[in-house]
Chains A and B, each alone.
Chain A
Amino acid sequence: MNRRRVAYLAGAGLLLAFAAFSLTSFRSALTPYVSYAEAREQSRTVQVAGGLAKASSRYDEATSSLLFTLVDPGTQQTLRVRYHGVKPANFEDAISIVAIGSYDRAADEFAAGKLLVKCPSKYQGAEVKTYS
Chain B
Amino acid sequence: MSYLSTLYLPGAVALWCALAFAVTAIWGYARALGGDPAALRFGRNAYRFFALAIALVTAILFLCLYLRDYRIEYVYQYSGNDLSTFFQLAAFWAGQKGSFLIWLFFGAMLGLPLVRAAGRDEAPVMTVFLFTQLGLLLILVRENPFIMLPQTPLDGAGMNPLLQDYWMTIHPPVMFIGYAATAIPFAFAMAALWRRDYGNWAARAFPWALFAFLVLGAAILLGGYWAYKTLGWGGYWGWDPVENASLIPWLLTTVLIHGLYLERARGRFRRATVVLSSLAYLSVLYGTFLTRSGVLADFSVHSFVDLGISGWLIALMLFFLGGSAWLVATRIREIPSAPSEDPLLSRGTFVVLGTITLLASALVVTLGTSAPILTRFLENPGQVGPAFYNRVNLPLALLTAFLVALVPFLTWRGAASWGELLGKARWGLVAAAAVAVLAAILGVHDPFHLLLVLFASAAVATNLTAVIGLARRGGLKSAGGYLAHVGVGVILLGFLASSAYDESVKVTLERGRPTAVGDLTLTFQRFVPRTATQKERMEVEVVRPGGSRYLAYPSLFVNDRSRQLMAHPDIRSFAFHDLYLSPLEYDPGERGGRLLLAKDQSATRGGIEVRFLGFDLEAGGHGTTPAASGPMSVGAVLEITRDGRSERLTPIYRFSPGGEVEFPPVAIPGGGRVALAGIDAESGAVELLFEGLPDLPGSPAKLALDVTRKPLIQLVWGGLYLIFFGGALAAWQRYRQALRHDATAAGTR
Chain A residues in the interface with B (C-beta under 8 A):
3-4, 7, 11, 15, 18, 21-22, 25-26, 29-34, 38, 45-47, 49, 59, 61, 64, 84-87, 89-93, 98, 100, 114, 116-119, 121-132
Residues from chain B with Cβ under 8 Å of A100 in the complex: 385
Q: Given the complex of chains A and B, what is the CA–CA distance between A126 and B291 in angstroms?
A: 12
Pick from B299, B303, B388: contact of A123, CB under 8 Å = B303
Interchain CB contact under 8 A, A33 and B163? no
Residues from chain A with Cβ under 8 Å of B563 in the complex: 92-93
Q: Does residue B391 face the partner (Cβ distance < 8 Å to A)?
A: yes
Interchain CB contact under 8 A, B567 and A86? yes
Residues from chain A with Cβ under 8 Å of B382 in the complex: 30-33, 46-47
Pick from A11, A117, A119, A129: contact of B227, CB under 8 Å = A129
Q: Does residue B364 face the partner (Cβ distance < 8 Å to A)?
A: yes
Interchain CB contact under 8 A, A126 and B162? yes
Which stretch from B233-241, B253-261, B309-317 is at the chain A interface? B233-241
Q: How many residues of B contact A (CB 8 A)?
A: 68
Residues from chain B with Cβ under 8 Å of A25 in the complex: 388, 391-392
Interface of B is mostly: mixed
Interchain CB contact under 8 A, B298 and A49? yes
Interchain CB contact under 8 A, B565 and A59? no
Given contacts A26-B367, A93-B562, A127-B303, contact A84 B506 (CB under 8 A): yes
Q: Does residue B502 face the partner (Cβ distance < 8 Å to A)?
A: no
Interchain CB contact under 8 A, A32 and B380? yes
In the complex, residue of chain A having the shortest beta-carbon distance to the beta carbon of B381:
A33
Residues from chain A with Cβ under 8 Å of B302 in the complex: 127-129
Q: Given the complex of chains A and B, what is the CA–CA distance between A49 and B508 in angstroms?
A: 29
Interchain CB contact under 8 A, A126 and B344? no
Interchain CB contact under 8 A, A30 and B163? no
Interface residues of B in 30-71 (CB under 8 A from A): none
Interchain CB contact under 8 A, A130 and B160? no
Interchain CB contact under 8 A, A31 and B566? no
Residues from chain B with Cβ under 8 Å of A132 in the complex: 233, 235, 238, 385-386
Interchain CB contact under 8 A, A129 and B300? no
CB distance from A96 to the nearest CB of B (A): 8
Interchain CB contact under 8 A, B298 and A125? no
In the complex, residue of chain B having the shortest beta-carbon distance to the beta carbon of A95:
B303
Interchain CB contact under 8 A, B375 and A32? yes
Residues from chain A with Cβ under 8 Å of B303 in the complex: 118-119, 123-128
Chain B residues in the interface with A (C-beta under 8 A):
77-78, 94-96, 157, 159-163, 227, 231-235, 238-240, 242-243, 298-305, 341, 344, 353, 356, 360, 364, 367-368, 371, 375, 378, 380-388, 391-392, 395, 506-508, 562-567, 582, 584-585, 702, 704, 706
Kindly list the 7 A-B residue pairs having the minimum CB-CB distance in the complex, ordered from nearest: A130-B238, A64-B506, A126-B160, A32-B380, A29-B388, A32-B382, A29-B384
Interchain CB contact under 8 A, A61 and B508? yes
Interchain CB contact under 8 A, B360 and A30? no
Interchain CB contact under 8 A, A122 and B567? no
Interchain CB contact under 8 A, A127 and B163? yes
Residues from chain A with Cβ under 8 Å of B162 in the complex: 89, 126-129
Interchain CB contact under 8 A, A129 and B231? yes
Interchain CB contact under 8 A, B298 and A33? yes
Q: Given the complex of chains A and B, what is the CA–CA distance between A25 and B242 in angstroms?
A: 21
Interchain CB contact under 8 A, A59 and B305? no
Pick from B305, B353, B565, B585: contact of A124, CB under 8 Å = B305
Given contacts A90-B562, A126-B94, A127-B303, contact A18 B385 (CB under 8 A): no
Q: Given the complex of chains A and B, what is the CA–CA distance between A84 and B506 in angstroms?
A: 9
In the complex, residue of chain B having the shortest beta-carbon distance to the beta carbon of A118:
B303
Q: Given the complex of chains A and B, what is the CA–CA distance between A84 and B584 in angstroms?
A: 10
Q: Given the complex of chains A and B, what is the CA–CA distance between A30 and B381 in angstroms?
A: 9
Residues from chain A with Cβ under 8 Å of B375 in the complex: 30, 32
Q: List 5 other contacts, CB 8 Å, given A18-B360, A29-B387.
A: A26-B384, A45-B385, A59-B584, A125-B305, A132-B235
Interchain CB contact under 8 A, B305 and A92? no
Interchain CB contact under 8 A, A125 and B96? yes
Can you name 12 A-B residue pairings with CB atoms under 8 Å?
Answer: A29-B384, A49-B298, A85-B233, A89-B162, A116-B301, A118-B303, A119-B564, A124-B305, A126-B95, A126-B160, A129-B231, A130-B301
Q: Given the complex of chains A and B, what is the CA–CA distance between A47 and B378 in angstroms?
A: 15
Pick from A64, A114, A124: contact of B385, CB under 8 Å = A114
Residues from chain A with Cβ under 8 Å of B378 in the complex: 32
In the complex, residue of chain B having the shortest beta-carbon distance to the beta carbon of A119:
B303
Residues from chain A with Cβ under 8 Å of B364 in the complex: 22
